[in-house]
Amino acid sequence: MGDRIVTQVNDDVFEFDFAIAGTGYFVDPTKRPELADFAQHIALWRDRTLAF
């Protein structure tokens, strides 16, 4: 599968080109020069809701 990130959840397989991971701190991507150009495409935890 080369240089891709591959994960499996139940029967679904997901492939990604890259991952941005973090926990325990807050970074505003729009304020980081290296992320600012594509910050609008970065999903934050606050953008997600959990349905139980």
Nearest one of 33, 51, 29 to 42, comparing CA atoms: 29
pLDDT band at 8 (very low <50, low <70, confident <90, very high): very high
Residue 24 has pLDDT above 80, yes or no: no
Burial class (CB in 10 A: 0-12, 13-18, 19+), 35: middle
CA 50, CA 20: separation in Å to the nearest integer?
20
31 versus 20: which is more confidently predicted?
A: 31
Joined together, the tokens standing for residue 48 give 């997600």
Has residue 25 got a pLDDT over 90? no
Q: What is the pTM of this model?
A: 0.42
**Are 28 and 36 in contact, with CB atoms under 8 Å apart?**
no
